[in-house]
Structures are given as C-alpha cells and as structure tokens.
Amino acid sequence: MLAIKKQALGSASRILLRANVLSGLAVRASRSYSKLYKSSDEAIEGIKSGDTLLIGGFGLCGIPENLLKAIARRKDIQQITAVSNNAGTSDYGLGTLLQSRQIKRMISSYVGENKEFSRQYLGGELEVELLPQGTIAERVRSGGAGIPAFYTLTGVGTQVETGGIPIKYGKNGEVLISSTPRETKVFNGRKYLMEEGITGDYALVKAWKGDELGNLVFKYAASNFNAPMATAGKITIAEVEEIVPVGELKPNEIHIPGIHVHRIIKGETYEKRIEKLTLRRSADEENELPESMKQRIHIIKRAAREFKDGMYVNLGIGMPVLASNYIDPQITVHLQSENGILGMGPFPTPNEVDADLVNAGKESVTVLPGGTCFSSDVSFGMIRGNRLDMTILGGMQVSSRGDLSNWMVPRKMVKGIGGAMDLVAAPKSRVVVTMTHTAKDGSPKILKENTLPLTGVQCVDRIITDKCVFDVVPNKGLLLRELSYGQTVDSIKASTGCDFEVASDVAETF
C-alpha cells in the first residue's frame, strides 16, 4: 500500500511540474507572439485591387468603421468585390467606398434606404448580386467551415431558383448581367436549391473586446455577420473597442477563437452611429401622428391579436416590427430578430439606447430579461429549422394563392430580398402579411396573380390590411374573415383584384 501511495505522489508531482512548464511556455508565448497591429492603415496592408472582402456588421451596427476608413484612404485599391449584408448608409460605413467608386460588385441581401447604393445599381454603375440574407450567412459560414455547397428551401419558386435577377444594368435600363439558375434536388418530396460556400481574400470584422492572440467577444446584436465573416477570410482583420491582456477573457466568454483571426487593432475612434434612432412613444404622441402612420398602427394593432402565449415570432422590418409595442401584457411572446436577437423588447427610452442593440430594420430596440443575442448564421438556423411559430411580414402584393412579393419593383425600386425569403420558406411557420389594401394610386395589392418578382410561393396564411382580414385557404383561395370598422363586403370587393369567399360569421372587429 505504501509503495502505491509513493507511486501516486510521484505521478502527481510530475503532472504538476509538466503543467507549470506548459503554463510558463504559454505565458512566454503570449508575451513574444502578438497579432496586434499599430493602426488600421497598417492592418490593411496587402489588400489590393480586385480582392474579395467579407465585411461584418448589419446596417451600421458592428461595422469595422476604422478599417473601412483606412481602405477609403487607399484610392489605389479598386475593383473590390464586397460581401456584406448591406452597404451602410450613403455617407458612412461601406457606403463611403461606394461614394469613392472603389467597389465593382456588391454581394448583399438588402439595399434599403441607401440611396447611393440604389442609384449606382439602377444606373448601371455597380454590379449587385442580391441573395437572401440567411443564404448569405450560411454560404459564408459554410465557406469558413470548408463546406463547398449545401441545399436549402429558401428561394424555391422564385428568381433565385430560375435566375434572371439583374446584376448589372446598362445605361438605358437593359440587363447586361443577370443571376444564373440554381441546381436543384428533391429531398423527402420537396425541392431544394444548391448554394455554394463563400470565402474571401480578407475578412474585416468588428468586436467589442479582443486580446493579442485574436480572441474576440461581441456585444449584444453586433455579433450579426461579424461572427461568420471572421471564419471565412483567408486573412481576417479584426478591430475592437478594447484590447485586454491575454487570459482576461474567460474561455467560455470567447465568441471567436483566435485561430480565425490574423490581425487585430484597437480602433482609433468610434462614432457608433445608429441608423434609425427610434424611441418609445406615449399614447398622447400616437394621437399626434400623421394619418399614414395612424393607418399603419391600426393594421398592426389588429396583427398583435395573432400573438398567443408562449409563441416564438419574427417581426419583419417596417410596419410589422411595431407589433412589439402592442403585445397583450397578460401573455409572453418571444420576439426574434433575424440579425441576432431572441427576446426582443419594445423601442427604448432615451436612457436605454445602445448602438449595439438594433432590430432587423436597423432601429434601436431593447432586450427583455432572459433574452439572448447571437450571430446571423445561428439566427437563420433557427428560422430554417422551424423553431418559429409565426412570421409577420410586410407586402407589396399577395395573390389569391398566397404568393408574396415584397422586395423589388424592377428598374424602379429595390429594397432587397433581406430575410423574407428565408422566413417564408420555413414550412411549419405561420406567415401573416400586413399591408395597406391598395397602393397609393388606389390600385389593388391583393391580386389573382402577382406582377412583381416573388418572395415566396403559396406561403401566406393570413393577410391583414387597413380594410379587412383574409385567410388563404389551400387549394381554394381567399376567405374574408373580418372587416375593419366602416367597411362592407361590397367595399372590399371594389378594392380587391381577385375573387374571394365570405365567411358566414364575417363582422367588423377592428
């Protein structure tokens, strides 16, 4: 027994000695080896014309603003292919590289309110490859993970599948380059599209904290596209708000391990602009709103009745996101925002505003107790994985079969695909569309067949307008369920572009 104890003590001593030696080596290594660069100008050395850059951020939230400024100063860097969810604003973020004409092609999901982005695209000055937001996130994640391609339901039945989305316009509005058709395959009786992984020559990302080994921590919703982009660059350059000593970041706190990061800087200055600073309104303030906004609130208050206790729900940008302010206080609804929030709360008060907390519409928001934040690829994994009970989206047109159009008016207006195609492709998620019943010119938006490019095929379950509520009945068409106060069946017929059935108990309810 004594011999066994001596042997055990000897082994323990050798283990402790070995651990101390390794610990000493690790400390010395961290002191002698560093990925820290002195400035953003130094960090971007090597980027050249024609490179593909993966750029993190969502809107202006979490963008690598110092690295982008450094590239803007390098006028010799031209013909960039930029992979980014969007391009910031006309005067900030990636938009500055559009202004300086350093970008040849954007691979994005959303143009939004960036007028310069839209102008260059429609004017034939810029190539734009528009993709669903979740598809971009997964293509980048797959590229970083060494996966050459994958299959997805997103985009089936739309121009993403068939090709023909304009990439480059001519000066007279003719299409010079368009997207190509996707390869398809059937799994379990359903058609899927094949999408290829994306990698870049460089990835430019922004984090909250980092150390000299390249370990990164994000703050709130600023993880967004930064996390997948960081893994998919041949060379990843990270800028952070704070450099901390090696070892200060606990292993379970680190979001991106340093193996993915090649260069890191402490950002020189941060403006951290908020694209759409939106604050909570009081009831009195709502009464003073213009009629157009009152109309939207009228629609969304009815949409809020769709919430049921315990639901997980995604709210689309624009009108739908207003529903977060009208949830019955007696129930719990978990709101998901595709840029990486679960447990999203209402708009903030002035004291609650945080530039790292925005929703999918780039508006300032709050997170409720128990809420979580994560990256865009994780977010769309939830969506594709049928974790959501319901999605509420805006619409430009809905057909009697439930086809949805909400992202583009060819040659005139390009909002971008955004996350809508991913959301409506999830087969088990209920899809509710909120929109005005007619366009500004009085023409109907509910039609027998859509005339605009499709977002999804036979995907809508319910339509809520300022005039009524329709259900889409599979293989039958529209059923008029409810009327807004002051509306009649005849007034609905006069403003709707297709036939419909009327429920026996139809009544004025909102």
User: Which residues are part of the catalytic machinery?
Assistant: 338
End-to-end Cα spacing for the chain? 84
Ramachandran region of residue 101, left (φ > 0), alpha (ψ -120 to 50) or beta? left
Which residues lie closer than 8 Å to 306 by C-beta, 6 or more apart? Answer: 390, 392, 432, 462, 464
Report DSSP state, residue 179: P
Cβ(82)–Cβ(117) below 8 Å: no
Among 96, 93, 85, 84, CA closest to 54? 84
Print burial letters for 307-346: b (CB count within 10 Å at least 16), e (below 16). Answer: beeebbbbbbbbbbbbbbbebeeeeebbbbbbbbbbbbbb
**For residue 207, which amino acid is it?**
A
CB count in 10 Å sphere of residue 251: 8
Burial class (CB in 10 A: 0-12, 13-18, 19+), 499: exposed
CB count in 10 Å sphere of residue 10: 10
Cβ(56)–Cβ(86) below 8 Å: no
Question: Which residue do the tokens 């610990």 mark?
Answer: 23
Give phi and psi for 234, each to the nearest 5.
-60, -40
CA 372 to CA 184: how far, in whole Å? 35
Question: Which residue do the tokens 């708000």 mark?
Answer: 241
Structure tokens at 510: 């909102």
The beta strand positions in 443-492, using DSSP E, are 446-447, 462-464, 468-473, 477-483
CA 101 to CA 97: how far, in whole Å? 6
